[in-house]
Structure 1
């Protein structure tokens, strides 16, 4: 398969790309790289599909949402644009360009317990998961859409100076994305 990985320079994206490259052709896309795309910019998503053709799958690991105070208007709006609306826009564009039977894998997330600044992430992640489930009946030509909902990644926690034992190793997270791409799941949220 020919697979675009958006966010391929990040911790999760690079692990997913490395794993999928063992058996597939991978196009690594990011804000800074040979193939440029910015989930905050719908025009760059359109340009991506104009420049990369004959695609079987798209994986988005780029859209992240920081812990955001409940009273922060600007952070909420920016986050909704990139993580929620950016991924929704990508699905709407990708379904016009993917080969029959292709797949789209988005990234939501999960918090085990409520935490300060987590209301934004909870809202966006729940919205993405509901969108994916509802969009399945409108996907043409046998296309599939799923989301992976990783919690904290061990390597990210370590980089932040926190206990990596509280996270999931990135290798395990990457396998969940491979399952979404290579499997038959439809409208599902996969939790590594």
Structure 2
């Protein structure tokens, strides 16, 4: 199985990279903005098109890419919202829209949302907006995508690996470890469900 992992260098991406690398049946191909087997800027259509033209056919696309702006609501500007949309939302949508013709029949696409969609934190409004949109996109796209391709999202809580940096924003949350996080992506890639958001809370 050929798995294309976009965004393998961050805390989440490293969990996925290590997990898929341990699977003998997986041929793992990596891509990120500055490193990996291929380089891609997911917010640029031309870059995403070039990525898939170079990689060719895959059995699964897994995205751990994209970022959002964290600011108090009263400081948020339209440009901040647009930055979040362009990176985490439009970027991942680009991967699905441009990438699905390269996915084999019965293959899968997995995007990443996040707990902030419904468990709100200070300065998290733009992230909540983007995460909710990703989950709605996945639910609707699953109905139309065709060829037996499955498309899901994974919504992780704050991660143990980045807890020191994010704990002040996630007071009262219990961070999740590597194993349950990877299991959700494994379920999306190897399972039978589609149009779902797998919560890891």
State the TM bucket, normalised to the shorter chain.
over 0.9
Partner of 2:198: 190
Q: What is the SS of the residue equivalent to 2:28?
A: strand
Per-residue CA distance 1:70-128 (angstroms, 9 max, x = gap): 33222111110111111112111111111111100000011364222111111111111
Structure 2: unaligned runs, 5 residues or longer: none
- In 1, the alpha carbon distance for the partners of 2:100 and 2:167 equals 40
TM-score of the two chains, using structure 2 as the length reference:
0.88
Which residue does the alignment assign to 1:48? 51
| Alpha-carbon separation, structure 2, partners of 1:22 and 1:69 | 41
Which residue matches 1:12?
A: 12
Structure 1: any 5+ residue segments left out of the alignment? Answer: none
SS of 1:18's partner is helix
Q: In the TM superposition, what are the counterparts of 1:103-122 in structure 2 within 5 Å?
A: 103-111=108-116, 113-122=119-128
SS in 2 for 1:166: coil
2:21 counterpart residue number: 21
Equivalence for 2:34 = 32
Match of 1:81 in 2: 86
Contact 2:163 2:175 in 1 (8 A): yes
How big is the shift at 1:189? 0.1
Q: CA RMSD in A?
A: 1.9
How many Å apart are 1:159 and its aligned residue? 4.4
Q: Distance in 1 between matches of 2:179 and 2:68?
A: 21
Compared with structure 1, are the counterparts of its residues 46 and 68 closer, same or farther at alpha carbon in structure 2 (3 Å cutoff)? farther
Q: Is the 8 A contact 2:158 2:166 kept in 1?
A: no
Q: Helix, strand or coil: the match of 2:122?
A: coil
How does the TM-score come out when normalised to structure 1? 0.92
Using the TM superposition, give the Cα deviation of residue 20 of structure 1 relative to its aligned residue in structure 2, in angstroms: 1.3
Count of matched residue positions in the alignment of Structure 1 and Structure 2 = 192
Distance 1:80 1:113 in 2: 19
